Amino acid sequence: MAVVGAILKFAVSVSTSGFSVNTVGLILLIAGIVLFVVGAIVLATGGSRRSVVREDIQQTPTGQARIEERNDRIA
């Protein structure tokens, strides 16, 4: 998105009536940069998630029972 915005902003020189191609390019460029920064932040903080799984098999009068406990932590 940012690449298309940069092309429209800096490389296209067209005169149109009703809207400016350069303004559309600037909007796309800014939106692309913002999405990149937000994605980088989500990617950086997403690695701190930890999952702990505890499994246990217990003997019961009717056979075996499997018990599983999950604990998801965001550090």
List, for residues 24-65, the tens digit of each pLDDT value.
Answer: 899 999 999 999 999 998 888 776 667 788 888 888 888 888
pLDDT at 61: 85
Element (H, E) at 1: none
User: Angle of helix 2-10 relative to helix 21-46, nearest 10 degrees?
Assistant: 150
- CB atoms near residue 8 (< 10 Å): 20
Helix (H, G, I), strand (E, B) or coil at 42: helix
Indicate if the pLDDT at residue 73 is higher than 80.
Answer: no
Q: Is residue 29 packed enough to be buried (19+ CB in 10 Å), middle (13-18) or exposed (0-12)?
A: buried
Give the span between the Cα atoms of 48 and 74, in whole angstroms. 6
pLDDT at 47: 64
pLDDT at 57: 87
pLDDT at 20: 85
Query: pTM higher than 0.75 for the full model?
Result: no
